[in-house]
Amino acid sequence: MTIKRLCVIAVLLSNLAALGPSRPSSALAADGGLVLVVGKSSPISNVSKAELNRIFSGDSVKIDGEPVVPIALATSRPERAAFDQAVLGLSPDEASKYWIDRRIRGQGNPPKSAPTPEVMAKVVGSFPSAMGYLPASALTAGLKPVTIDGKAYTDRGYLLAH
C-alpha cells in the first residue's frame, strides 16, 4: 500500500516537473550570444569566471584595484535569464529566491538594472566602473568587450555565447 502511494506521489512530482520553469530562450542563439562590456575608458579587459560570478552575485569586487559596479538587464529580458544561468547557474525563479534570501539576511540588493540593451550601452559607456552585458548586435563604439578567462566573445567557448 505504501509503495503504491509512493508511486502515485512520484508520478505527481514528475508531472509537476514538466510544468516547471523553462530554460532561457534560445532566441539568443540567433543574436550571437551576449558580450560582457565595460566603458571604453575602463582599465578592465579580462575577468575570470569566478570574479564575474562574485560581481553579479552581490559581492563587492575590485579588479586591478578598481571597484566594479555591475549593471544587469531587467528581469523581464531573456538576456537576463541567459546571463544568470550562465554566470550564476540560476534559473529565473532561483535567481529571484537568491536575491530575496540575501535581502532577508541583510546582505543587500541585486544589481541595478537597465530596461533595454540600448540603455545598458549608454550607462556602461558613461561610467568607467560599470560592467554590464548585452547582445553582440547592441555593441556601440563607447563600449569595450571584456574577455572571460582570456576568451573573447568571438572565440569558441566564450562563457556568454548562446
Partner 1 sequence: MSMPRRPLPLRPRRRFFAVALAFALAAPSIAARAQDAPPAPAAPELAPAAAPAPTTSLADAAPADLDALGVQDESRSAGADEHPLQLYGFADMTYYLPLFSSDSYLAANVPSQQSFVMGNFNLYIAKQISSRLRSLGEVRFSYLPNGQATGNGYQSTQADDPAAFFRPTRWGGIVIERLHIEYDLLSNLTLRAGSFLTPYGIWNVDHGSPTIISIRAPYIIGEGLFPERQTGLELIGHHYFSEFALEYHLTLSNGRGPIDETRDLDSNKAVGGRLLLEWRHDADIKLGASYYRGTYTNATPTTFDVMTGHASANITERYLEQDVAADLSVDFRHFVFRGEFLRSDHRYDDAYRGSGPTFTPDNTRWGTYGIFGYHLPAGFLPYAVLQYYRFPDTPGNQYNPKIKAIAGGADYRLHPNVVLKAEYTYAKLADSPLAIIANTPFKAFEFQISWVF
- Report the interface residues with partner 1, using CB under 8 A: 5, 8-9, 12-13, 16-17, 19-22, 48, 50-51, 53-54, 59-62, 67, 71-72, 74-76, 92-93, 95-97, 99-101, 103-106, 109-116, 118-119, 122-123, 126
**Nearest distance from residue 153's CB to partner 1, in Å?**
22
Residue nearer to partner 1 on the CB measure, 104 or 156:
104
Residue nearer to partner 1 on the CB measure, 32 or 66:
66
User: Distance of alpha carbon 47 from its chain centroid, rounded?
Assistant: 14
Report the 10 Å Cβ neighbour count for 3: 7
**Nearest distance from residue 87's CB to partner 1, in Å?**
12
Residue nearer to partner 1 on the CB measure, 45 or 154:
45
Contact 84, 75 (CB under 8 A): no
Long-range contacts of 154-161 (CB under 8 A, 24+ apart): 158/33, 159/49, 159/52, 159/86, 159/87, 160/33, 160/34, 160/35, 160/36, 160/82, 160/83, 160/86, 160/87, 160/133, 161/32, 161/33, 161/34
**Nearest distance from residue 122's CB to partner 1, in Å?**
4
Contact 70, 56 (CB under 8 A): yes
Residue nearer to partner 1 on the CB measure, 49 or 154:
49
**Nearest distance from residue 18's CB to partner 1, in Å?**
8
**Nearest distance from residue 96's CB to partner 1, in Å?**
4
Residue nearer to partner 1 on the CB measure, 30 or 74:
74
